[in-house]
Amino acid sequence: MGFANSVLPEGSGKSPAPGRLTSVYSEVQTNRLHHPLPLPSVLRGPFKLLDGPPSSAAGNPDEIAKLFPNMFGQPSAKLVPTGSVPTGLPQGLRIGVVLSGGQAPGGHNVISGIFDYLQERAQRSTVYGFKGGPAGIMKCKYVELTPDFIYPYRNQGGFDMICSGRDKIETPEQFKQAEETAMKLDLDGLLVIGGDDSNTNACLLAENFRQKNMKTRVIGCPKTIDGDLKCKEVPASFGFDTACKIYSEMIGNVMTDARSTGKYYHFVRLMGRAASHITLECALQTHSNIAIIGEEVAAKKETLKNVTDYITDIICKRAKLGYNYGVILIPEGLIDFIPEVQQLIAELNEILAHDVVDKEGLWKKKLQQQSQLLFEFLPQAIQEQLLLERDPHGNVQVAKIETEKMLISMVETELEKRKSEGQYVGHFKGQSHFFGYEGRCGLPTNFDATYCYALGYAAGALLHSGKTGLISSVGNLSAPIDEWTVGGTALTSLMDVERRHGKFKPVIKKAMVELEGAPFRKFASMRDEWALNNRYISPGPIQFIGPGSNNVNHTLLLELGAQA
């Protein structure tokens, strides 16, 4: 029960997968195929769904109600054990699954989870995997999933079983295409595995199908390594645990290197453009000397100079203690959090669109004074990048700025100044790193593997019970797996509206790092200690067996009030 191996045909063991035909498996990969996926106890026996009270919205409920007349207000649902197997549930369901957006470790297990649910509880069901993300729905490009096809992806990283994509189903024509696909395949349900945007899209699809009196129901699933899709009912997005542990392994290694050589400051940029959860979690895991949290920078309305000075001050203090090395973590999206940088970029876009950038620099006079000062403060390489590298619309490409190199250069300049003033006597050498792609497709940790399998299995239960417009929700994650809670949360209850081009658009607000939340408060209470005394922890490579292999990340534990 609940172990998908049982649904596999004999002998499908180590043979190459149809989908991964060209792959060869390492010993660790092969071993992961056989890793058991225990289900929470409520999913192991017979269960029924209990509806909660009517729901509202995260903000502007009236507007959300207008945008989702059919979905708004519907209750969240909770799975509870029941004495006997419920009768009357349909068999032979036709279900589609789609992966949407960037990769996150565990996506394959969500698919394994819903697949196994249907095999076990809705016999003669068919599962279609839409290929290449939402575009696969619109173009009706899919593959029919079979046990043989799915098996080799079990507990494996990546999204390559059916691949993903970043298209959105937005225009009336695109919704029409989705309807046609749903009709053509006679879909009873669709599982959308994605981030905040994709889950908003899932709810719009659910609303649309219901409005058209179609039978196709839509359930979402919380995916993003960035960790910014979460709320009370959905305590974590999958992939965050694995990605942070992969980055923390690397950071731990770099820390040991820093301490051994004693001559480098490593500036490590980490993925996470919108929120700084990854940086915060990696700081909690490794005790880096410095970690910049974008949300704090924004809340304190700090300037780039403030951030530079904060780093420089610590480097100077460390030099006095004899430490001319350290590790500094920086979120990818840092400069998006700094108001003056946004202002400069807006002005630059305006100027570059209409004026000539003369070599003498007269054009700079068109910048407001604060922006002019900031521009002059930036390292030359960054200045050039801002002026030269532009996107097809002619806009400055903020995403291309290598923040870690920029900070190294600014800190260097500031240290030289302080040296000349006699305030700094150390020696500084910066090394830059970007840890990004390495973390999105690793083999999922035991936590992510099990969590994803439960999310997928729960999604199967929700669709089977006729639910739509919910996001699969597995909770109580700091308890043993057996005690995890399972249910579905109304997607509209997570939504607010934003005004774009004069219209209200529904959005699931990104969960930012809460400065009053337990993870940040723990970090804030320790950071001065970590800054000056080297309390480095090297988490080491992710282990799948033995001590530490079932540990959960600090962010989740702290948010759940458990001891991290």
- Which residue ranges are tagged as binding site for diphosphate? 102
| Selected range binding a copy of itself among 150-158, 403-411, 491-499, 556-564, rule: CB under 8 A | 150-158
Distance CA 66, CA 54 (A): 16
CB of 270 closer than 8 Å to CB of 282: yes
Strands, E, within 397-508: which ranges? 430-435, 470-475, 485-490, 495-500, 503-508
Distance CA 245, CA 470 (A): 29
Q: List the catalytic residue out of 116, 226, 241, 448.
A: 226
Contacting residue, 84, 87, 260, 420, with a copy of itself by CB under 8 A: 260
| CB 350, min distance to a copy of itself, A | 27
The reply to whether 13 sits near a copy of itself by the rule CB under 8 A is no
| Selected range binding a copy of itself among 42-50, 248-256, 303-311, 491-499, rule: CB under 8 A | 248-256
One-letter amino acid of 411: V
| Active-site residue, 226 included | yes
The reply to whether 535 sits near a copy of itself by the rule CB under 8 A is yes
Distance CA 144, CA 525 (A): 52
Annotated binding site for substrate: 224-226, 263-264, 271-273, 332, 437-440
Q: Which of 142, 71, 153, 42 is nearest to 457 (CA)?
A: 42
Contacting residue, 47, 72, 130, 536, with a copy of itself by CB under 8 A: 536
Strands, E, within 350-502: which ranges? 430-435, 470-475, 485-490, 495-500
Record the tokens describing residue 144, joined without a space: 């029919």
CB of 357 closer than 8 Å to CB of 387: yes
CB of 279 closer than 8 Å to CB of 320: no
DSSP 483-528: G-EEEEEEGGGGEEEEEETTEEEEEE---PPPTTSHHHHHHHHHHH
The reply to whether 19 sits near a copy of itself by the rule CB under 8 A is no
Contacting residue, 249, 281, 404, 414, with a copy of itself by CB under 8 A: 249
| CB 23, min distance to a copy of itself, A | 6
Query: Which residues in the 182-211 window bind a copy of itself by CB under 8 A?
Result: none
Task: Give the nearer residue to a copy of itself in terms of CB position, either 139 or 176.
Answer: 139
Contacting residue, 110, 178, 229, 441, with a copy of itself by CB under 8 A: 441
Contacting residue, 115, 159, 267, 337, with a copy of itself by CB under 8 A: 159
The reply to whether 262 sits near a copy of itself by the rule CB under 8 A is yes
Annotated binding site: 102, 196, 224-226, 263-264, 271-273, 332, 437-440
CB of 289 closer than 8 Å to CB of 349: no
The reply to whether 31 sits near a copy of itself by the rule CB under 8 A is yes
The reply to whether 527 sits near a copy of itself by the rule CB under 8 A is no
Record the tokens describing residue 84, joined without a space: 């006997």
The residue ranges that bind a copy of itself (CB under 8 A) are: 22-32, 103, 132, 156-160, 163-164, 246, 249-250, 252-257, 259-262, 264, 266, 287, 431, 433, 437-443, 533-548, 551
Catalytic residues: 226
